[in-house]
Amino acid sequence: MSFPSVVEIAGEVRAGRVTARAVTEATLSRIARRNPALNAFTAVLTERALARAEKVDAALTAGQPVGPLAGVPFAVKNLFDIEGLPTLAGSSIRRSAAPPSRDATLIQRLEAAGAILVGALNMDEFAYGFVTENAHDGPTHNPHDLSRIAGGSSGGSAAAVAAGLTPLTLGSDTNGSIRIPASLCGVYGLKPTYGRLSRQGVFPFVESLDHAGAFARSVEDLALAYDVMQGQDTEGDAICIRAAEPVSDKLSALAATPLRVGVLGGWFAQGAFPEVLEALDAVAKALDARDGVILPGAQAARAAAFCLTPVEAAHLHLSNLKTWAMDYDPAVRDRLLAGALLPPGIAEAAQRYRTIFRDEVRRAFERFDILLAPSSVCPAPGIGQATMEMGGEQVSVRKNLGAFTQPISYIGLPVLAAPVNRPGRLPIGVQIIAPAWREDLALAAGLRLQRLGVVAAHEPESFQ
């Protein structure tokens, strides 16, 4: 049994074959049954969701437009502002924070298109991690093997889609926090170009690296949600500076157009598990990608992102650390304190290198339309697993899961994380990387692979 898609649900609701309330009730029932095993949700908005569903149904009955996402349930990482609910950002110190008076912009846009918010999702504290082993709310479990991590920091978002709790979720990606959980949970994740989607009402982590994005079970679902969320937003820290034409209508034609595809090697293969390289090779062959690409500055770009992250994050948290240091997750607190002690020149150098590396990547895109790379160095590690073997050495799981994602988000490129079709095995994803502002190319390549059966969302047997 396959899980219903965003496109299918909206079509059924608009056609009157099912009510938005019935869809919402079924979703809330699934969450009640399945979430205890997963720990993906930190809040379920039953009354709000049902009230919103009734408004959608009333609009349909009255013959009023309801939008392209009519009746589609969705949930958001708990760093998105939800009216009346404290924005936790995975922490304990924000549990008593004043609730926001309105929703984040992206929530507003999804609901304006007819979608229905059903809850908030678990994450690494303040988005600083790749595992979603939250010290306050507990770990989110991978739907394909409950003893394994879901990835992070948007682990709850990926697990909720993977287990069929809801067909669409929102997350954030600073160093890989959409792409890694999408890979480990076997779903699609979209990290748009830096500045494409509004960050208004999204609790910040690293201002110069933060992206908002989405998870779904098909390319078409992601494209539709992406179209709905687009649009300039100049308020506050929205950083939405450039909107694009909708991609959904032209995606099918673009997917049939030949693309020049390169495969990133060098840094992007070092330490990768054999099954990760095998999955990447399957995607490369399907897209007729014969040329390897070396980005000489990739390792330095990763190091720069690694330095920039704690410095900017520490600046944001310094006053709270002085008052509530012991209320932070120890793993997060220690990295923030280390960031506060780094000399200012470190962050300045990390910022300067972005221009150099961006130019390297631009030269690669003169030869190719898209580039391929692994999303994660490995399939999902176990919950609580501290180390793993890379290149014959034991290394930290938390520090190295983002080795292949950090250089790409460092320069803000759009990426579709696509799950390689591996029935009966743990999920593995690939990054389909496009030039800045060309999300359409990444989505088109993903759609072609999806039609070929090379990539597909995994359906965990225990959650059918």
Beta bridge partners of 41: 121
Beta bridge partners of 262: 291, 371
**Residue 153 known to be catalytic:** yes
Q: What's the pLDDT at 429?
A: 98
CB of 115 within 8 A of CB of 38?
Answer: no
Question: Which is catalytic among the residues 77, 218, 248, 376?
Answer: 77
Q: Which of 44-48, 172-176, 342-346 has the lowest mean pLDDT?
A: 342-346
Q: List, for residues 385-443, the tens digit of each pLDDT value.
A: 999 998 889 999 999 999 999 999 999 999 999 999 999 999 999 999 999 999 999 99
Q: Largest Cα–Cα distance in the chain?
A: 65
Rounded CA gap, 116 and 14, in Å? 14
Counting residues of the chain whose pLDDT is more than 90, the rounded percentage is 93
Q: Pick the closest to residue 99 from 109, 113, 85 (CA basis).
A: 85
**Residue 147 known to be catalytic:** no
Is the pLDDT score of 243 beyond 90? no
**Residue 77 known to be catalytic:** yes
Q: 293, exposed or middle or buried, with CB in 10 Å at 0-12, 13-18, 19+? A: buried
Rounded CA gap, 228 and 147, in Å? 36
The band of 242, judged by pLDDT with boundaries at 50, 70 and 90, is low
The band of 1, judged by pLDDT with boundaries at 50, 70 and 90, is very low
Is the pLDDT score of 98 beyond 80? yes
CB of 283 within 8 A of CB of 449?
Answer: yes
Q: Which residue has the tokens 């609910």?
A: 85
Counting residues of the chain whose pLDDT is more than 70, the rounded percentage is 97
Is the pLDDT score of 79 beyond 70? yes
Is the pLDDT score of 240 beyond 60? no
Provide the 8-state DSSP code for 265.
-
**Predicted model pTM:** 0.97
What structural domains and CATH numbers belong to the chain?
A: 6-295+351-463 (3.90.1300.10)
Listed in sequence order, the residues at least 6 apart from 270 whose beta carbon sits closer than 8 Å to its beta carbon are 390, 391, 403
Is the pLDDT score of 367 beyond 60? yes
Question: Which is catalytic among the residues 5, 153, 183, 248?
Answer: 153
Question: Which is catalytic among the residues 5, 177, 183, 198?
Answer: 177
Residue type, 87: T
User: Between helices 219-229 and 105-112, what is the axis angle to 10°?
Assistant: 110
Is the pLDDT score of 284 beyond 70? yes
Is the pLDDT score of 150 beyond 70? yes
Rounded CA gap, 221 and 447, in Å? 11
